[in-house]
Structure 1
């Protein structure tokens, strides 16, 4: 099982402590999948600053292939984070060198050696999804809570498993997932925070619960859910089991500070 993730990374800087943790959706998903036993690689850009070195070394220490991380002159992306009742709240985001991220032909050839690819809404990777789909990769993409983003209308045709973040299981999100799935996706998925998760495959809805645990920091909970779901999908698990695997992965992540 080989998974490559593409796009954004950032150092999450906690204002209360000054501590900085490596993160970013594609980075987190690659690390979580590696922990589950998948062979993973991350493709992205970091800056020429100290944070860039920390990012590269941290990802490598988790066993993720870093051969296609490029160091560019400038700043590594950063996100300011506050904890409010152990729930992470994002502040200012500086994209740094990732603002002009592009894949090289060598990167694209490297990605085609993998079974599936995952990226996210902030990663500047969406333009390559028609290529990934044409080459036969299983495609995953996290839209986060940007349900009204213009990419929601055109990208699902090239995304087998799109993920969204919402608040509850209601008529709006059910209709939304139906519309997204009809655009060409196999299964459209929504995480609902403490309300669990929801998926639609064109025939029926599937609901997933949460695993009760002590919450230290919710950073990375959604990303670890995605990793668990991806792992289950590649193992041939049912949609219901994939939702369960996602919830179990998320419950482990929220027990400590930082994404991983």
Structure 2
């Protein structure tokens, strides 16, 4: 049985630093979340599209080695998406994408307790409709999480992007976004205002990462701040995905995933929320301390939380 099903893109991240040779890392936000969950010992499947080219094979090998079950939609000759990731002097990433998302319907594995969707695959047609339909189909038995992971170059006009994002928010029990995501989607609005807007659409909780300023968790009843963790930054690639995976890991540890846990998830108290944010922020801090989307395994995270 599979505990987690992640639906979304794999991307070969071609990391470019001025003056240095390009380095290719396996990436793609949903793939990173699946990889992070598997590294934390969670039974995870990824429904995706990945090519049979060398970059695609490298991505597949990495995922399988971590324990991810890689599922396809039966299409052949699908090219592996790529993203040129240019890092500035602070390690901040800017992206240029070459991606098509044409996911077709496929049968999910048995026993899924939680579905994660997000990023390009949740808003890019024709594959987005397949991803959302499958999440909706599984929702009677599974909780759902969503991370918009905004990529402005691929999200199109803002009003249409906001409508697509809010469709996903309405499907989710948990939404995680970055402060930058919120600022692009809703210029001039505060994180708190947007979180309350999203909560009104249906989720039990909204998490917002604030980079060096920490993170926030919102429920209908409360708002909790998670402290920032100090770390030497190698780059920020995959930090938000590591946060997402570790937050889901923490909630699974609290037995707050699966449709039967929805009332308890909605009633999360402040102490539990702080613990989830600390768990997730620690994983993200470990990830940014080393190059690429390289989240911690269970032993590394336990030691850091120590």
- Relative to the length of structure 1, the TM-score reads 0.89
SS at match of 1:149: helix
Indicate which of 45, 52, 55 corresponds to 2:56. 52
Q: 1:120-199, aligned counterparts within 5 Å?
A: 120-123=118-121, 124=128, 125-134=131-140, 136-145=141-150, 149-166=162-179, 172-199=190-217
Shift of 1:171: 7.1
Is the 1:42–1:69 contact (alpha carbons within 8 Å) kept by the matching residues of 2? no
SS at match of 2:50: strand
Which residue in the other structure is 2:303 paired with?
Answer: none
Q: Return 5+ residue gaps in structure 2 as ranges.
A: 122-127, 152-157, 257-271, 295-306
Shift of 1:258: 0.9
* Greater strand content: 1
Q: Deviations over 1:121-152 (max 9, x none)?
A: 31122343321213x21111101247962123
Q: Which moved more, 1:30-39 or 1:159-168?
A: 159-168
Distance 1:222 1:160 in 2: 18
Cα gap change, 1:241/1:70 in structure 2, threshold over 3 Å: closer, same or farther?
A: farther
Which residue in the other structure is 1:245 paired with?
Answer: 279
- Relative to the length of structure 2, the TM-score reads 0.76
Q: Which moved more, 1:199-208 or 1:62-71?
A: 62-71
Distance 1:195 1:155 in 2: 26
Q: 1:40-119, aligned counterparts within 5 Å?
A: 40-68=44-72, 72-96=76-100, 99-104=101-106, 106=107, 108=108, 110=109, 112-119=110-117
* Greater helix content: 2
Q: Deviations over 1:216-241 (max 9, x none)?
A: 11111110011111111111182211
User: Root-mean-square deviation (CA), in Å?
Assistant: 2.3
Is the 1:45–1:72 contact (alpha carbons within 8 Å) kept by the matching residues of 2? no
Q: Return 5+ residue gaps in structure 1 as ranges.
A: none
SS at match of 1:87: coil
Q: Deviations over 1:41-74 (max 9, x none)?
A: 1110112321111111111111212254756304
Is the 2:49–2:78 contact (alpha carbons within 8 Å) kept by the matching residues of 1? no
Distance 2:239 2:36 in 1: 11
Distance 1:141 1:154 in 2: 11
SS at match of 1:151: helix
Distance 1:9 1:75 in 2: 11
